[in-house]
């Protein structure tokens, strides 16, 4: 079962614990991993998040092999990339931001003085003296760092912020994404990197998880927004094909179960009837033909587990997974924040201003980061047939080493060794 375990990992006070990471089939590292601490990428001048992700991937691979894993059993490692936000703590992005030849890669400020924005020219975010649009969410904005001991310099190599790619650029930007941003020694060409987490999107309302006035501050018309959105979709598709051709994979290419993961019992029977239904054309349930990712149920939208380190519905999640999975499927953690080892030293949990260090995750989870029940390492054998509704609301599936059952009437799971 361990090969089918998925973990979105992050420790923003140093490198993530590799001895724990290697226990999972796939580990995905967020950009905020290794942000602080002695080896933190925020302490480098300029910041080097992209390379730190590759180092973390290399460490996890080495730990997996040292544990005795070989071949396809070695832990797969994904790393973070964003083709909507141009994050300058990635060296490959920063190199293009400072090169005038590539100015067309990025959206620019075009604020309206009558818009009500409080910054220069009516902008809703500080321009920091650069023509390129950027907000300052999740950014060490305002900080300066020593440059060769001669004076202050922006920590990101440019004014820190979340810049935006202009996908109207066409084939030139697309080729750069393919040749440099996801390839090379810090990308899919590394033997230690197996895929990516591609984050965010660009739609009719602009960039996701960006300042809500990003379209207005770029002065884009409805038609121009649509052109950026269409370009992003085309570029994302082309990059995805390249990664797949290289033998890699990525989020968001996994299929989900469509189950409400904060209240999975509410529609248990309906969900399992849908997932277990056999397609009359293929003769198998649709989900068994997909690369499936089934996340653990959450306490609520922002909290995955309780303070004492227990998951709310682990046994039911495991039973659901074993009932519906095909040959390529994973169960585990989607994004849950940086929880590996407590708050960064000297961080300010109320950080809203310049020159402060933010805390990124709640204290309550520090004592039990990423609970991993022992059943995640059990061997259930191989499936015998597909799941069936054995009685109204009761779903079963035979495996060679266990019979699995989920009773949606009582929301109780059973695993019977055979």
- Yes or no: say if 129 and 177 are a contact pair by the CB < 8 Å rule: no
Q: Which residue has the higher pLDDT, 301 or 136?
A: 136
Least confident of 80-89, 170-179, 348-357, 365-374: 348-357
- 169 has a pLDDT exceeding 60: yes
Q: Could you tell me the pLDDT band of residue 155, with boundaries at 50, 70 and 90? A: low
**Residue 340 pLDDT:** 47
Q: Could you tell me the pLDDT band of residue 157, with boundaries at 50, 70 and 90? A: confident
Instruction: Give 384: exposed, middle or buried? Use CB within 10 Å, 0-12, 13-18, 19+.
Output: exposed
**Residue 351 pLDDT:** 53
Residues 257-302: pLDDT tens digits?
999 989 999 999 999 999 999 999 999 999 998 999 999 999 887 7
- 320 has a pLDDT exceeding 90: yes
Coil vs helix vs strand at 383: strand
For residues 71-84, give the mean pLDDT.
97
Per domain, the residue ranges of the chain are: 2-251, 268-417
Instruction: Give 343: exposed, middle or buried? Use CB within 10 Å, 0-12, 13-18, 19+.
Output: buried
CA distances from 158 to 89, 338, 357, 416 (A): 9, 26, 19, 59
- 43 has a pLDDT exceeding 90: no
Start-end of H helices in 136-293: 171-176, 214-217, 222-245, 268-276
- 314 has a pLDDT exceeding 80: yes
For residues 69-83, give the mean pLDDT.
97
For residues 52 and 59, what is the distance between their CA atoms, to the nearest angstrom? 11
Secondary structure of 75-129 in HEC code, one letter for each residue: CEEEEEEECCEECCCCHHHHHHHCCHHHHHHECECCCCCCCCCCCHHHCCCCCCC
Task: Indicate the pTM of the whole model.
Answer: 0.90
- For every residue of 310-365, DSSP letters joined together read --TTHHHHHHHHHHH--SSEEEEE------SS-PPTT-BTT--STT--B--S-GGG
For residues 405-414, give the mean pLDDT.
98
For residues 147 and 2, what is the distance between their CA atoms, to the nearest angstrom? 46
Residues 174-195: pLDDT tens digits?
999 999 999 999 999 999 999 9
- 404 has a pLDDT exceeding 60: yes
Residues 99-131: pLDDT tens digits?
999 999 999 999 999 988 999 999 999 998 899
- Yes or no: say if 218 and 107 are a contact pair by the CB < 8 Å rule: yes
- 357 has a pLDDT exceeding 90: no
Mean pLDDT estimate for the chain: 89
């Amino acid at each position: 079962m361990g090969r089918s375990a998925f973990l979105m990992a992050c420790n923003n006070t140093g490198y993530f614990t590799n001895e724990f990471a290697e226990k999972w089939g796939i580990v995905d590292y967020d950009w905020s991993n290794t942000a602080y601490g002695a080896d933190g990428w925020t302490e480098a001048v300029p910041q080097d998040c992209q390379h730190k992700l590759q180092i973390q991937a290399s460490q996890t691979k080495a730990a997996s092999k040292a544990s005795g894993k070989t071949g396809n059993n070695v832990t797969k490692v994904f790393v973070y990339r964003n083709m909507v936000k141009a994050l300058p703590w990635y060296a490959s992005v920063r190199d293009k931001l400072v090169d005038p030849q590539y100015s067309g890669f990025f959206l620019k400020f075009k604020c309206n003085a009558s818009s009500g924005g409080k910054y220069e020219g009516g902008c809703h975010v500080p321009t920091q003296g650069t023509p390129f649009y950027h907000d300052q969410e999740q950014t060490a904005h305002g900080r300066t760092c020593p440059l060769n001991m001669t004076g202050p310099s922006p920590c990101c190599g440019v004014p820190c912020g979340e810049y935006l790619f202009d996908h109207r650029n066409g084939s030139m930007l697309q080729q750069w994404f393919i040749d440099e941003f996801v390839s090379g020694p810090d990308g899919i060409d590394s033997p230690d990197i197996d895929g990516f987490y591609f984050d965010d999107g660009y739609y009719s309302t602009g960039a996701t998880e960006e300042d809500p006035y990003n379209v207005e501050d770029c002065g884009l018309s409805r038609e121009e927004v649509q052109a950026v959105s269409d370009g992003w979709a085309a570029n994302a598709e082309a990059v995805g094909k390249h990664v797949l051709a290289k033998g890699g994979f990525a989020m968001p290419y996994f299929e989900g179960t469509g189950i409400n993961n904060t209240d999975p019992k509410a529609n248990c029977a309906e969900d399992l009837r849908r997932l277990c239904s056999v397609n009359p054309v293929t003769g198998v349930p649709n989900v068994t033909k997909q690369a499936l990712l089934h996340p653990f149920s959450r306490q609520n939208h922002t909290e995955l587990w309780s303070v004492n380190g227990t998951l709310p519905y682990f046994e039911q999640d495991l039973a659901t997974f074993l009932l519906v999975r095909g040959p390529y499927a994973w169960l585990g953690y989607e994004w849950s924040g940086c929880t590996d080892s407590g708050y960064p030293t000297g961080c300010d949990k109320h950080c809203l201003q310049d020159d402060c260090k933010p805390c990124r995750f709640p204290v309550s989870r520090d004592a039990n980061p990423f609970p991993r029940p022992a059943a995640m390492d059990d061997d259930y054998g191989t499936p015998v047939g597909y799941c069936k509704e054995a009685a109204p609301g009761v779903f079963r599936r035979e495996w060679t080493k266990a019979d699995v059952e989920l009773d949606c009437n009582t929301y109780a799971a059973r695993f019977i060794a055979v």
